[in-house]
Structure 1
Amino acid sequence: MASQRKRNPNGAGTITKRKDGRYQAAVYVPQPDGTRARKFAYGKTWAECDAKRRELLDKADKGIPVPTRSAKLSEWLPYWLDNIVKPRRKLSTYDKYEAHVRLHLAPALGAKRLEALSVSDVRRFLARLERQTTAATAKEAHRVLRSALSSACREELIMRNVAKLVEPPRPTPRELSPWSLDETLSFLSAARKDPLYAAFVLAIAMGLRRGEIVGIRWQDVDLENRMLLVRQQVQRRRGILYEDETKGRRSRAVPLPAMCIAPLRWHRIRQGEIRERAGDSWKDTGYVFTTRTGRPVEPRNLHRSFVRVSGSAGLRPVRLHDARHGCATLLTAAGVAPRVVMEILGHSQISLTMDVYTHVVQDTQREAISHMDRLLKRRPSRE
């Protein structure tokens, strides 16, 4: 007499034989909305059905949702944000994705089930969003949707990512018009007595991002060897000032131009005087650019000071971030290789450096190709 199979322990599911000869496994699995429901799997043999049962249990143990029916986007997107985006991405990235989900994706596509979402649904959504907002907003919403559906594919909730089959909108590139060399020198002259003068010099001469400038600590500055280690940035999100990784999630050591050394030395002396006046109220955070009590400067206040100084100098208004563009423009015009410009600015891809500063690269190419006229100019004939 064949021995009966042992019953699975509680919570491990059950396997029964159906009247049609197939085997059926039943397991309680988590749903995208946080509840649990019974999921069925089928196999021609007991072993095949048991393998599917074990696969379902493995997903349940890892907390991966296995919907008993095709989940709606309104169910999947919040789960994706909280369990996939939040633990792995920057807070700023999470906030941007959450805004697109809340404002655009969920209202327009939330009622659609993952498996029922079609290419035409995505195309119509993007066209409508572009009409209502901008092409740049529609393009970013497409990127968020594509990422969410890619995660659903990896978790085997859907078989294909329809967002990848739709070409995103093409926003008109923002026309860059950074300061000229004369305008830059006029700004530096006007900012010389400003408490944040050293920060402005770093922005213009090295193209540092606003958060990177505020996030510099004295331990990252080597004035003797003229080196700066850019390894963090300071950001404000949800009313909290916090330290985060750099945009590319990697540190970079950059040589300090000679023009940055004296402003940084002067700034360190001035900070020491402020520390003495603050007394017990001073908080030693180690930041280079601080308030009167030692706390890091607000990134937005750095931009406000930049705008105030440029206005007092009678210069046309530009963003502090445009100083970064100006740095790359001057470096490229001076003949610095794009790969070197990329490393200095901390771009993640060389294509970004090339795309943003194409006009400068073209001017440099035009000057270089003009040498061909001189090299290949026909020699005068000898009589």
Structure 2
Amino acid sequence: MTFQAPKGVSEYAPPRSAAFRRAIDTFAAAVTKAGYGYLELPVFEDTQLYARGVGESTDVVTKEMYTFEDRGGRSVTLRPEFTAGVLRSVLENGLHHGQLPAKVWAVGPAFRYERPQAGRYRQFYQVDLEAIGSDDPLVDAETIAIAWDWYRQLGLQRLTLLLNTLGCAECRPIYRAALQDFLRALDLDEATRARVEINPLRVLDDKRPEVKAQLEGAPLVTDHLCAACKAHHDQVRTALADLSIPWTDNPRLVRGLDYYTRTTFEFDHPLLGAQSAVGGGGRYDGLSESIGGPPLPGIGFGLGLDRTVLAMEAEQVAAAAVSTVDVYAVPLGEEARRRAFALLAELRRAGLAADMAYGSRGLKGSMKAASKSGARFALIIGERDLEAGAVQLKDLETAEQTEVSLASIVDTLKGKLL
């Protein structure tokens, strides 16, 4: 029997995994420079954390969660998103008692039971960033800028930033009532009508053409903002303009989770078809109270690694992430194999990426492997070379070959590559 990965699981093997790994490493470097600390989180939580935090009326909670009872009779759920778990961890570890905002980030898999298709998986990967404890609109702009700059560092040029505000506890009820009045007059199915009464903003996120067509004249949240929310939104947009980050105002943008307030944003990529959203996030100023914590504003995002890699491939920048070695050793003879193996460790300790031809390959096969490795230099080590205390250093780009003493080969390569 031949086993295969479960249906709907995203899996990365070389060389494609290099783009996936580069995306994570680039993100880690960027957020660390901005003062964000790393969180390692469990992949499952108490089911009620997501029911109360994400929203019991959302598709995530009602249709998509992997929920099961453990041997102790407790209901647990594989994480469908990061924010609720991150906030739980911040509260449990007392990070909100320190310097605010508490800045944290995480990375890993999330799980939703969905119909698998390109860019939509049952196990998918995200990088997550959260700034908790401040309602400063500049913090909103910072989180958006970090994501924007990360995409740019990966080589992506065709992204669109969509921006909206969803109001606050003061002005949203007024908008909610106006939206419900509008939606109740439409020709909607029974399930959607029920959603109108529970969370009418979720209807705006309906992707069905027959529903979208009826939403053309729906009232806009931006027409119902209180003065404080309008001022907050204007300051976010001014800060983004100061950073030369372009955006498109989208007053109908809502996210699929109930906890969002005020700033809401999404990054779209035009080459990904139906699954064009590569990431997004927003402010969630009431989430802490909903999971039993103190009043604590926050903002963050989840960026999809799977769709980011697809976007890199679509823009043909993923190849730049393919990992290579710097030096490839080609030993000829048993004693040369022993010496080459020891030399690999020296090169790696010196900060160089090094590999060698294993097994009993001849010179031709070993040199072919050296070329495939992507190495800049090949080290050819024969019995006569060892007797002379030397190696043959071949530049695989120019084909130039020189003899270098074994005693100085590490320093020679460091000088050429570092």
How does the TM-score come out when normalised to structure 2?
A: 0.21
**Highest Rg: 1 or 2?**
1
The structure with the largest helix share of the pair is: 1
Higher relative contact order (CA 8 A, sep 6+): 2
